[in-house]
Amino acid sequence: MKVTIDHVSKMYKDKVAINDVSAELTSGVYGLIGPNGAGKTTLMRMLADVLKPSSGRIMADGEDIKQLDDLYRALIGYLPQDCGFYSYFTAYRLLQYVAALKGLNRHDADRKIDELLHLVNLTKEKHKKIGTFSGGMKRRLGIAQALLNDPKFLILDEPTAGLDPKERVRFRNLLSEISGDRIVLLSTHIISDIEYIAKEVLILKNGQLLKQESPQSILNELNGKVWHVTVPAIELHKLEQHYTVGNVLRKGQEIEARVISDTAPAPTAVLQTPRLEDIYLCYFGEISGDTED
Ligand SMILES: Nc1ncnc2c1ncn2[C@@H]1O[C@H](COP(=O)(O)OP(=O)(O)OP(=O)(O)O)[C@@H](O)[C@H]1O
């Protein structure tokens, strides 16, 4: 399957949330990153066909999804940012409910539900109420409901939000396992979520798509721009005025900082091997969510 985003824009009254975005997605995992308010949820909701573009079109294998309508929705699975599951439902009941909404017959649904509960490692908890689940369990259940119709295009809005590092690793492995010949698009603030599994990263800022590249080519671009700088602490302010400064570590009277710059920001600056999380610093001038762990 190929999904084409063709000059798509979305306005909320006079606010431009998505500004003339074009992209092409084929099978594999895509990471959508951007700071708060960049437009990630808006773009994903349009791809999930729950929100209409103000202009432009989205196509699946060359056909406008407006025309495909139900046929398109049968091909996609969507995990919204806030699932809002009924907490008094059990995991099994919830999946039966979603399966019915998606038009699966009871027999196929029950077989599929068992298979998915196994995949997301919730078989033992299937008769427990969702209200008793941890954040990670709810997100895994969210994936299971999105996979019920065996979608060719899986859209996951911040699937790892609120997960602890161990749950995130489990989640990442699950995504690699299910990607196969599907398109998986996931938004995240945590670069390490996509570092090893994304075929391409889409960088969104102020509603505009700045880049759609493989992690490796983004890293290549950052080569020669990431520095480790040690300067007297009183010079930090000056450094921040002239350069994009990331993590700062105070050591007595000195500070050590990660800095993005095309040229050496100080005589003693040492070039660093770029990491994917430097994208945040380079494109958004802020530190990636990874450092919050
Ligand atoms: N229903 C709405 N009405 C008006 N403005 C909206 C609406 N939904 C989103 N916006 C605005 O559109 C912009 C993009 O929002 P969106 O939620 O798509 O960003 P995001 O990248 O998903 O942010 P976050 O990472 O915080 O979830 C923001 O400026 C937001 O305030």
List, chain by chain if needed, residues with CB within 6 Å of any ligand 1 atom: 12, 15, 17, 34, 36-42
Q: What is the CATH number of domain 3-219?
A: 3.40.50.300
Which protein residue has the closest C-alpha to ligand 1 atom 1?
A: 12
Phi, psi of 270 (to 5 degrees): -120, 130
Strand (E) or helix (H) holding 211: strand 208-213
Check pLDDT > 50 for residue 292. Answer: no
Contact 260, 225 (CB under 8 A): yes
Query: How far is the centre of ligand 1, averaged over its atoms, from the C-alpha of 12 (Å)?
Result: 9
pTM of the model: 0.90
Strand (E) or helix (H) holding 5: strand 3-12
Query: How far is the centre of ligand 1, averaged over its atoms, from the C-alpha of 170 (Å)?
Result: 29
DSSP state string for 239-261: HHHHSEEEEEEEETTEEEEEEE-
How many angstroms separate the CA atoms of 226 and 246, rounded? Answer: 10
What are the extents of the domains in the chain?
3-219, 221-292
* Interval 210-235: pLDDT, tens: 999 999 999 899 999 999 999 998 98
Check pLDDT > 70 for residue 204. Answer: yes
Check pLDDT > 50 for residue 179. Answer: yes
* Interval 109-162: pLDDT, tens: 999 999 999 988 899 999 999 999 988 888 889 989 999 999 999 999 988 877
Average pLDDT estimate for 257-284: 90
Query: How far is the centre of ligand 1, averaged over its atoms, from the C-alpha of 41 (Å)?
Result: 7
Strands 28-33 and 183-188: what pairing? parallel
Average confidence score pLDDT of the chain: 90
Does the structure's ipTM exceed the value 0.85? yes
Which protein residue has the closest C-alpha to ligand 1 atom 30?
A: 37
How many angstroms separate the CA atoms of 87 and 14, rounded? Answer: 37
* Interval 68-113: pLDDT, tens: 998 999 999 999 987 777 788 999 999 999 999 888 888 889 999 9
Helices (H) and strands (E) in the chain, counts: 11, 14
Ligand 1 atom nearest 18 alpha carbon: 14
Q: Which residues of 158-170 are buried (b: 16+ CB within 10 A; e: fewer)?
A: bbbeebeeebbeb
Contact 269, 227 (CB under 8 A): yes
Say which range, 9-13, 23-27, 34-38, has the weakest mean pLDDT.
Answer: 34-38
